[in-house]
């Protein structure tokens, strides 16, 4: 159960970058598809298909590529803890993008020369076989945090014990193990809180609770990592 306490948020002049993101395998798979589709769209434009449906599909393909790139961007700038908890949304977005890519490429395929149609056919084959899944560490972090949120505690002591254990496991699995990585994570949450829409109170509550946990147990997070490395 989320605490009603709201932690004081301070400005942390550190921003996340590609090295800090999670969902590595998802982003790699998505990036691979984006790269292949981006290259073939140049060939499609050069071929100038004389078909209204194909041209409309090409425009939609460009729009879908931009949406796919935004998924990778979100994974690089959002909080790791937040991304782990909301990972089903990312997976769903990727699966929808894959289906839309397949739809538009299939509409274009019959309106281009045979050599280009063969290229598109190979990409369609890859799209149908594309798999988006979480890594074990990400799934473990997600499960331990969701378990914490669902619990009701008889007293403050038991709540704090469970909070500490959950945040230690989650941060360890997501490689938030140093003062620097902890600062990056808090900065990411702060940036999301600055952007969150007031009409989305659940997301705001989640982000505030994650910040509360990181600030309250910050010393224990780093101590836990030091104890691991000393053995």
Which of 129, 160, 181 terminates a domain? The answer is 129
Among 5-9, 27-31, 38-42, 211-215, name the one with the lowest average pLDDT.
Answer: 5-9
Whether residue 87 sits in one domain with residue 104: yes
Q: Cα dihedral angle (167, 170, 172, 176), rounded to 10 degrees?
A: -80
48 φ/ψ sector (left φ>0, alpha ψ -120 to 50, else beta): left
pLDDT for the residue numbered 198: 77
Instruction: Assess whether 28 and 83 both reside in one domain.
Output: yes
Range of the domain at 49: 21-129
**pTM for the predicted model, two decimal places:** 0.83
pLDDT at 223: 60
Are residue 141 and residue 223 in the same domain, yes or no? yes
Angle between helices 156-173 and 218-230 (to 10 degrees): 50
- pLDDT tens, 90-148? 999 999 999 999 999 999 999 999 999 999 999 999 999 999 999 999 999 999 999 99
| Structural domain ending residue among the three candidates 91, 110, 129 | 129
Shared domain check, 167 and 94: no
In a domain, 4, yes or no: no
pLDDT for 159-195, tens place per residue?
999 999 999 999 999 999 899 999 999 999 999 999 9
Query: How many CA within 13 A on the CB side of residue 36?
Result: 20
Residue 19 has pLDDT above 80, yes or no: no
Q: Is residue 10 part of a domain?
A: no
Please count the structural domains in the chain.
2
């Amino acid at each position: 159960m989320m605490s009603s306490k709201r932690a004081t948020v301070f400005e942390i002049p550190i921003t996340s970058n590609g090295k800090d993101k999670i969902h590595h395998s998802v982003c790699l798979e998505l990036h691979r598809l984006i790269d292949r589709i981006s290259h073939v769209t140049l060939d499609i434009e050069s071929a100038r298909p004389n078909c209204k449906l194909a041209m409309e599909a090409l425009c939609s393909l460009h729009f879908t590529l931009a949406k796919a790139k935004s998924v990778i961007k979100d994974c690089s700038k959002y909080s790791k803890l937040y991304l782990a908890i909301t990972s089903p949304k990312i997976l769903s977005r990727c699966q929808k993008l894959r289906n839309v890519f397949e739809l538009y490429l299939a509409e274009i395929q019959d309106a281009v020369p045979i050599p280009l149609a063969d290229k598109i056919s190979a990409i369609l084959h890859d799209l149908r076989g594309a798999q988006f899944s979480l890594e074990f560490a990400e799934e473990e972090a997600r499960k331990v945090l969701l378990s914490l949120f669902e619990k009701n505690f008889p007293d403050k002591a038991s709540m704090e014990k469970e909070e500490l254990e959950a945040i230690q496991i989650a941060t360890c699995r997501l490689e938030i193990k140093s003062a620097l990585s902890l600062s990056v994570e808090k900065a990411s949450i702060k940036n999301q809180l600055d952007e969150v829409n007031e009409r989305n109170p659940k997301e705001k509550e989640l982000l505030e609770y994650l910040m509360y946990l990181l600030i309250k147990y910050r010393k224990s997070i780093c101590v836990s990592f030091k104890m691991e490395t000393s053995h």
